[in-house]
Amino acid sequence: MNRISNIVMTMIAATAIGAAGSLRAAERGVEIEHLGVNNTLVRVTADGKYLILPVQESNDEATVNVLVDGKTDKTLSVRLAKSKVDYTVPLKIEDYKGKKVLLNVVTSQSRSSVREAKEDACWQNISVSDTFDTSNREKFRPAYHHTPLYGWMNDPNGMFYKDGEWHLCYQWNPYGSKWQNLSWGHSVSRDLIHWEHRPDAVIEPDGLGMIFSGSSAVDRSGSAGFGKDAVVAMYTSAAASQIQSLAWSDDNGETFTKYDGNPVLTLDSEARDPNMFWGAERNVWILVLAHALDHEMLIFSSPDMKDWTLESSFGRGLGAQDGVWECPDLFELPVNGESGKKWVLLCNLNPGGPFGGSATQYFIGDFDGKTFTSDTDDSGKVPTKWLDYGKDHYATVSFSDAPDGRRTVIGWMSNWQYAPEVPTMQFRSANTLPREVGIFRAPDGQLYVSSTPSPEVDALRGALVKSVSKTSLGSKARTYSIPELCEIDMEISPKKAESVEIELSNAAGEKVVMVYDAKSDSLSFDRRKSGIVDFSQDFPAVTVSPAYTDGDKVGLRIFIDRSSIEVFGKDGRFAMTNLVFPNSPYSRLSVRATGGSARLSDLKIYSITVE
């Protein structure tokens, strides 16, 4: 859940945005000079923390060059408002106090004259302010999932645990709610549920490009030369090429300093999203790098995170190959109920997911410190396996240095097919609940990765609003009231039924229908009538997951937030994550059987407590 930070922000109510337009430029702390139909200078003439930039999402991006004392400090891409202001974003200027700040703005707007260009809404509303309002204005902002306070977010990256705190970095655009200006945003939590948002990006774009995804690790020995226990981040610098760079922190990730020898790894082809960890057996750092367009992962080693040796590659022709490979992660896990251990290689790809767009596939196998070798099925082939069978689970990676041997992961809760179009504006995208991954052997004899909500998630439970120990199911639905925010646990025994249908609905008739099919041992999720679905032709969908049951029962754990539903099978044997945008919250749970009788047992409905 988001704890709105008081570090930066409190006001500018919506009325204040409109009022700004009635003030003269000088009263708003700026001087505006139009040089032509596509070029405008904005001089900052007042002290303040922020320059408030008005945004209109339907506009093309303007290039904003920020000059400080005559030298370019940064360059932004912003969809500056033309005919209306959808929302505003802050450009932090307090560090420039006492200096001359000039914005050289180049737009691509078609204008017949300078006179017409002067009428753009951005010039009437741009202003200097000491505050920026981040109070939530979105009905679909999740109540208990991590989101950015404002702006665009995609991949989680650079996640690590240190000194009792979980650090979640993420791909962030602070200057709009669509993809651009990628930096690393930063949030911190002591319990994986309540997140404190850091106000500034910890790693910002530079002359090498935008800051794409990567990883962080605690350098216990100081092998990289940045000090013992320094947090070292490795990320992709993305401009004309994609190259790998380092930054380090000696204050537990609060601030990062870029290595002056960047880049540390270059290739003559597209490669990104470096994921590194300490390889204790060889006493070297191991790096997995996505060779995106070649649909493979490259494995490197290094004694110091700076000089990297290519050891091997994995993946060409294996698994899902329809999209680019991205965001790898490689780690070892014990096999549940067995004595051995296996390695898991996460491989996110887009497109090519099981139901279109982006998804997370994985491989289980062995790693000798240099080469990863995948297990095969009974036919001798490397099977394609999915970590989550919903539409909205991508870029899944784990926290480094997690305590007690845990392997805790978080994913991006969206899909590249429609992520920029979902019905929010103040922010876009959320993260999944934190999950613990493991390995289990299914009835088919194959090993699979399990995914269960992290134990910290239990603390979200509020009142037990309904409990049913056992009841029979037939063609007439049994219906129960549910809170807007809730967790639903249940166990289903199909018995003689062909299927069991679980429906979540509201008074307007919007609904999500989940069906457990006994014959195929699978669960489907139909969101075609779930609420607002018309913003993308790819959003209305039915997703299906194998249940991997080992008996005649299937256990379900369902989490409902304002715009998402996450379904977990018993012991995490499957997971399914889907966004939903109902016009009013779902208020009813209905369960019925088809083709015979079934049994519902251990039904518990918990409200979810939000501070």
Burial call 477-494: b when 16+ CB within 10 Å, e when fewer: bbeeebbbbbbbbbebbb
Residue 55: which region, alpha, beta or left (left: phi > 0; alpha: psi -120 to 50)?
A: beta
Closest CA to 274 of 376, 446, 184, 157: 157
H/E element, 169? strand 165-173
Q: Which of 362, 434, 370 is nearest to 402 (CA)?
A: 434
CA-nearest of 246, 242, 180, 218 to 419 is 180
DSSP letters spanning 510-575: -EEEEEEETTTTEEEEE-TTSS--TT-TTSS-EEEEE---SSS-EEEEEEEETTEEEEEEGGGS-E
Please, which residues have CB within 8 angstroms of residue 458's CB and are 6 or more apart in sequence?
none
Q: Position of tokens 């303040």? A: 48
Task: State how far the Cα of 481 lies from the Cα of 478, in Å rounded to an integer.
Answer: 11
Report the C-alpha gap between 125 and 122 in whole angstroms.
5
CA atoms of 560 and 484, how far apart (whole Å): 7
Rounded Cα distance, 551 and 509, in Å: 35
From the candidates 69, 130, 133, 155, which is the catalytic residue? 155
The single-letter code of the amino acid at 162 is K
Structure tokens that stand for 345 in this block: 């290689």
Structure tokens at 221: 């020995």
- Verify whether residue 155 is a known catalytic residue: yes
The CA-CA-CA angle for residues 307, 156, 164, to 5°, reads 85
Cβ–Cβ < 8 Å for 390, 543: yes
The answer to whether 66 touches 146, Cβ cutoff 8 Å, is: no
Task: Give every strand in the sheet of 284-291, ordered side by side.
Answer: 272-279, 284-291, 296-302, 309-314
Contact 47, 61 (CB under 8 A): no
Among 122, 108, 129, 112, CA closest to 51: 129
Point out the residues that are catalytic: 155
